[in-house]
Amino acid sequence: MGQGMGGSAGRAAPVAAALGLDVGGGAVKAGAVLLDARGRLEPFLSEVRVNHHLEADGAGLTALCARTARDLFGRLDTAWPGLPVVWGVSAAAWIDPDSGAAVFSPHLMGWRHRPLPADLGAALAKATGLPLAAEAALPRPLDGVPVPAVVNDADAAAWAEARLGDPGMPSADPARPARPDRMVMVAIGTGIGGALVQDGAVDIGAHGMAGEYGHMTVDPSGLPCPCGNTGCWELLVSAEALAARAGHASARPALDDALSGDPRGVRAVQETGRWLGRGLATLAAVLDPTRFVIGGGVAVAGDLLLDPARAELARHIPGGRRRPVPPVTVASLGNRAGWLGAAGVALERAGWSVTGSSATGGN
């Protein structure tokens, strides 16, 4: 289990709390945050990680989430009795924005077509022996169990990076007036996930499917993709693509090679970075962001990956000489972004305003 991180000494008493669960294909990561009266979040319990192999067993995965949430609820209730508590779940799934149902999920097969908010709320009620809280009432811990907010994992992570992450380098051109933040996050892992966050609000698209940047065609003569197209961006930039270039079965040793200066590893990361930059140029043409934030496991390569990406972006961005080129930085919240985002979105949906973080220096 996680350990308490946030001392309350010297801080305003919290007005609410939220649990976040980030449910990926192999593990559930979870934690809790406190919200103060100024709208700032502070991590309170961070972080629980439970490995699972329940991809095909939706009921088992739901029960695991309920047990994890029950434990966190109990610890919050002990520390802050009576504090309103909500919870949010970030899932590697296409989430219907109206119902919260998992419409499709290649990584969580058992959650396909499940009405997740109802399932998870009922499972937590069963695990705690408490009733489901009335939707209109602010839920108190262990008096009643609220229905969770359910969010796509890339959207949750992007929300957290935009609101709570390190804002990174200042605007590309300090002589220009500051713009509202328009952040595009690109998370590189098995595939590419992403999201556009305008002024702190995630643009999920008309059907909750915006941000599938990994399936832009970047090399029309490239390899066939399981999605039906050829030369998709994620085939050129994913962890697998990097591993193949470096002659490894997985990305981790390729990254280790590169970071220790091995020439083949360095070349593999640089080529991956160039393809990253090509795709960023297309995204810049379409979305005109103020900045790019790169997350996911491959981003640990840092500037070794990002310098060639920045160079390709500057070379290929339409109107490159006459427009600011968006800065490209590494995501700062690491693998906490998913559960932090789920917790934050849950607070917003319950009517609280979240302005930033008291712990990570954002906003």
Site residues, Zn ion (CB under 5 A): 215, 225, 227, 229, 232
Which one, 219 or 262, has the nearer CB to Zn ion?
219
Which one, 217 or 363, has the nearer CB to Zn ion?
217
Q: How far is the CB of 229 from Zn ion (least distance, A)?
A: 5
Q: How far is the CB of 133 from Zn ion (least distance, A)?
A: 41
Strands, DSSP E only, in the chain?
3-4, 16-23, 27-35, 40-51, 85-91, 94-95, 102-104, 149-152, 182-188, 192-198, 201-203, 291-295, 328-330, 356-357
φ/ψ of 244, rounded to 5, equals: -60, -40
Q: How far is the CB of 94 from Zn ion (least distance, A)?
A: 15
Q: How far is the CB of 190 from Zn ion (least distance, A)?
A: 13
Distance CA 318, CA 19 (A): 42
Which one, 192 or 281, has the nearer CB to Zn ion?
192
Which one, 23 or 186, has the nearer CB to Zn ion?
186
Query: Do residues 327 and 172 make contact, with C-beta atoms less than 8 angstroms apart?
Result: yes
Q: How far is the CB of 213 from Zn ion (least distance, A)?
A: 10
How many H helices and E strands in the chain? 9, 14
User: Which are the contacts of 185, defined by CB distance < 8 A and separation ≥ 6?
Assistant: 154, 157, 158, 161, 162, 194, 195, 197, 292, 293, 294, 295, 331
Which one, 232 or 251, has the nearer CB to Zn ion?
232
